[in-house]
Structure 1
Amino acid sequence: MPIRQFQAQRMHAPRDFQSIENSPICVEIGAGKGKHALLFSEQNPQLKLVAVERTREKFLAMQKQHQLEGQDNLTPIHADALPWVVHALYPQQVQHFFILYPNPEPHNPAQRWLNMPFFEFLISRLQTHGTITLASNIPEYIVEAEQQLQKVWNLPYEKQVIASDSARTHFEIKYLERGELCQQLVISKPENYATRFDGFQPLQGQNTQVIEPKNVK
């Protein structure tokens, strides 16, 4: 399906937005109660992870557990991911994105991650050779994402079956206990990959500022 251009400059900042420094980070989108975020930050102390969750109840659960465990390389953020990414992240800043078991949007396919114009902006924030890990328990979701990677985004990826004893998220545990097939696509950004947002700087919470993306074809 055709993808229209994302209108980044129209995104309003999340409530209580705070900017971050321009240094390499990892980002989890839809972090839920933070099970993966807490585990990843504990296992990778050399990496900084920002875990973004929109639902207040889940965010508070993640924040509470983070306060108990105390990983100083993890920053939980309560925000909608799209405006937060536009306002906070710099071009080629992110080492790894994690999108684990997103809403499959059964009644609105245009809102699936690889069908959204926003996905181009997300790629622009990713470092060269950085990765996006997209996991799902729905085979059709993975198949459609593969088709979009091949036909629209022209990005290399590796398709992986998730081990039956994996326990990164509460959803993953539930799906695997049911015996469902869980899969992930590990998407890579090759050298010289260009987007229309490569020169787009973060809005830094300024709702009234309009910054047009550079190198628009």
Structure 2
Amino acid sequence: MLDQQKMSHKQSRAFQADKLSPPRDFTIPEALASTKKINQPLVLEIGAGKGKHALLFASQNPNKQLIAIERTRNKFEAFSKLATEHNLTNLTPVHADAIAWIVHAIKPKSIACIYILYPNPEQHNPNQQWLNMPFFEFLLSRLSEGGEVILATNIESYMGNAQQQAKSIWCLPTLCEKVPADSQRTHFEVKYLARNETCWQLTMTKPKGYRTRFDNWVTAHKK
């Protein structure tokens, strides 16, 4: 792995990817195994809920492959049912813990865009917020150069911390914008905007030449 001086960020604590077991019944989905589909831009959504954004995105972007991960069983079952009904060939719902699944499924620099829409703010445990976790370095290693991480929240303090961490720790260019009042990407977004709450979106871009400790790291599943 790279030493600290050669990395493009300032996160000193390394994520221990090699100690993370694959999820139960883990398999590589067709979207990653098919040569034809690999040639299409690959998009990842973490915390897809009941799939509102995933279904909309896949229907509006037929030339992109979306993998949407949801950990909670009842939400995933509702999402999976809708995905089956819509029969979108460019959408792959995944029921798993996102961190373990990404570690064992996703190749370095293979993702064009990552959506994290309205995650649990973890106000009592800020170390579990995405940009505070060492795992975020691994996530960035899976993002292609010029690729984006898009984070949305209705909590101003969460957004403020995320933008500060993106700049000072992860050394990423950022763009923070208010979400339009008519946006309806997720059920949470619809609810918050209907209550006239402000929602924010933070777009983080991976610069060319960005370096992490995991740029060449692969699991046994891909060796």
TM-score norm. by structure 2 comes to 0.89
Q: What is the alpha-carbon distance in structure 1 between the residues aligned to residue 177 and residue 59 of structure 2?
A: 23
Percent of paired sites with the same residue: 51
Equivalent position of 1:15 in the other structure: 24
Encode CA deviations 1:153-206: one digit per residue, 9 max, x unaligned: 00001111100110000000001011111001011001000001001013439x
Give how far 1:56 is off. 0.5
| Paired residues of 1:155 and 1:189 also in contact (CA < 8 A) | yes
Q: Confirm whether residue 25 of structure 1 aligns to residue 34 of structure 2.
A: no
Equivalent position of 2:13 in the other structure: 4
Q: Confirm whether residue 79 of structure 1 aligns to residue 88 of structure 2.
A: no
TM-score norm. by structure 1 comes to 0.92
Equivalent position of 2:177 in the other structure: 160
Q: What is the alpha-carbon distance in structure 2 between the residues aligned to residue 164 and residue 112 of structure 1?
A: 25
Structure 1: where are the runs of 5+ without partners?
206-210, 212-217
* Structure 2 residue corresponding to 1:136, chosen from 153, 168, 174: 153
Equivalent position of 2:112 in the other structure: 95
Bigger fraction of residues in helix: 2
AA aligned opposite 2:136: F
Q: Confirm whether residue 108 of structure 1 aligns to residue 108 of structure 2.
A: no
Equivalent position of 1:42 in the other structure: 59
| Paired residues of 1:97 and 1:132 also in contact (CA < 8 A) | yes
Q: What is the alpha-carbon distance in structure 2 between the residues aligned to residue 65 and residue 192 of structure 1?
A: 40
Q: SS in structure 2 opposite 1:107? A: coil
Q: Confirm whether residue 151 of structure 1 aligns to residue 168 of structure 2.
A: yes
Q: Which one is further off, 113-122 or 23-32?
A: 23-32
Q: SS in structure 2 opposite 1:153? A: coil
| Paired residues of 1:29 and 1:53 also in contact (CA < 8 A) | yes
Q: Which runs of 4+ in 1 moved over 2 A?
A: 20-24, 202-205
| Paired residues of 2:46 and 2:98 also in contact (CA < 8 A) | yes
Q: SS in structure 2 opposite 1:175? A: helix
Give how far 1:3 is off. 5.1
AA aligned opposite 2:60: Q
Q: What is the alpha-carbon distance in structure 1 between the residues aligned to residue 211 and residue 69 of structure 2?
A: 26
Q: What is the alpha-carbon distance in structure 1 between the residues aligned to residue 80 and residue 136 of structure 2?
A: 27
Q: What is the alpha-carbon distance in structure 2 between the residues aligned to residue 59 and residue 85 of structure 1?
A: 17
Structure 2: where are the runs of 5+ without partners?
1-9
Q: What is the alpha-carbon distance in structure 2 between the residues aligned to residue 181 and residue 16 of structure 1?
A: 40
AA aligned opposite 2:216: G
Give how far 1:19 is off. 1.4
| Paired residues of 2:11 and 2:134 also in contact (CA < 8 A) | no
Give how far 1:32 is off. 0.2
Q: SS in structure 2 opposite 1:199? A: coil
* Structure 1 residue corresponding to 2:199, chosen from 182, 188, 194: 182
